[in-house]
Chain A
Amino acid sequence: MTLLNQIQTVRSRSRQSGSSRITDEQISDLVSKLQDLLPEARLRGNDRVPSSRVLQETCSYIRSLHREVDDLSERLSELLATSDMSTAQAAVIRSLLM
């Protein structure tokens, strides 16, 4: 099942139950799915990781991804300064075709 289908199933399940209360089971289900997304190096042993740890690792993972975007943006802005725009556009178009 795709990630989107999983999310939609959880949503429809909560609607079908009739109660608006969010069960702990649903939360832990979502937390385990979140855990699956994190790179394996961040979690020693995939089973029985506490939710707080998953949340902490998610925060630090997002922070590191933001840093990567920052660094890559800096690199790209330097490249754009030195090379002309048509080169950059051609490169992006080529990436689109690949």
Chain B
Amino acid sequence: MQGPNANTSTKSFKQAFLKNLLLNLHALTSTSASSFDAISLHQRKRTVKSSTDVAMAAARDDSGDAGAVRWPKAILARASRAFKMRRRRRIVIRCCGRKRCLTRSRAAASSSDGGDAARRLVRRRTMALRDMIPGGRDAAVDETTLLREAMDYVVHLRAQVDMLRQVSEAVQRFSSIALQVRDEQTILVASIVFTGDLLYLTNYLLIWRAVTRKQNDGRDLEPLPKGKHLS
């Protein structure tokens, strides 16, 4: 990426992404605390993945130039639809939309000039790219818009991957450190108890000696040096 502005906008995006991810993860585990552990690994992965996508889209949508791109809103719309579908427990048939797009693209290809093979290839590749970009299948997205969307999407996808990697590594480090601290704490506590016992014992002996000396009123409990007697 070039320019200082790009770096700062990426940094603020990354911070917004992390913040959103934190909120999503907290919402996931606090509202359905028991069920997050109870659901299958596959379901958990899907939930985490959709949270990261929503976090990325929301962070992008939150910045100043949010209106310039469509893909964040497409992701958010898709996620809210999926959420509503899950609540109503209906099966979503997604292939219908895909078929519609294919027939549209085939019609466009046939209506354009049939001669130039290179241009047909470019058109085919453009159609494939539409499927990769969220919201790319919309008919309102022309070629220029699609290319702009692709550039913005790639940049932010890369940032998402970087952030996810950092978070995974941080969680891994933290949990291992936490275990280490737990072990060290145990050793520390044990050593304090041990030392404390020793100190207590020593103090007790000293106190006992002082007390017993006083009680005997000058009479030493310790063996006197020979030749000395107390009356």
| A interface residues, Cβ below 8 angstroms from B | 1-5, 7-8, 10, 14, 22, 26-27, 30-31, 33-34, 37-38, 50-52, 55-56, 58-59, 61-63, 65-66, 68-70, 72-83, 85, 87-96
Q: With A72-B164, A92-B18 given, is the CB distance from A26 to B47 under 8 Å?
A: no
- Determine whether the beta carbon of A69 is less than 8 Å from that of B132: no
Does A65 contact B158, Cβ atoms closer than 8 Å?
yes
The minimal Cβ–Cβ distance linking A89 to chain B, given in whole angstroms, is 6
Contacts of A95 in B (CB 8 A): 18, 163, 166-167, 170
Considering the chains assembled together, what is the distance between the CA atoms of A89 and B37 in angstroms? 17
Which of B's residues lie within 8 Å of A, judged by CB?
Answer: 1-3, 5-6, 9, 15, 18-19, 21-22, 25-26, 29-30, 36-37, 41, 44-45, 47-49, 52-53, 65, 68, 118, 121-122, 124-126, 128-129, 132-133, 142-144, 147-148, 150-155, 157-158, 160-161, 163-168, 170-175, 178
Q: Are A76 and B164 in contact, with the CB atoms below 8 A?
A: yes
Least CB separation from A63: chain B residue:
B132
Q: Which residue of the partner chain, among A2, A22, A65, A92, contacts B161 with CB atoms under 8 Å?
A: A65
Q: Are B171 and A26 in contact (CB under 8 A)?
A: no
Q: List 13 A-B contacts (CB under 8 A).
A: A3-B1, A7-B68, A7-B152, A56-B125, A65-B161, A69-B53, A73-B164, A80-B29, A83-B174, A83-B178, A85-B26, A93-B22, A95-B167
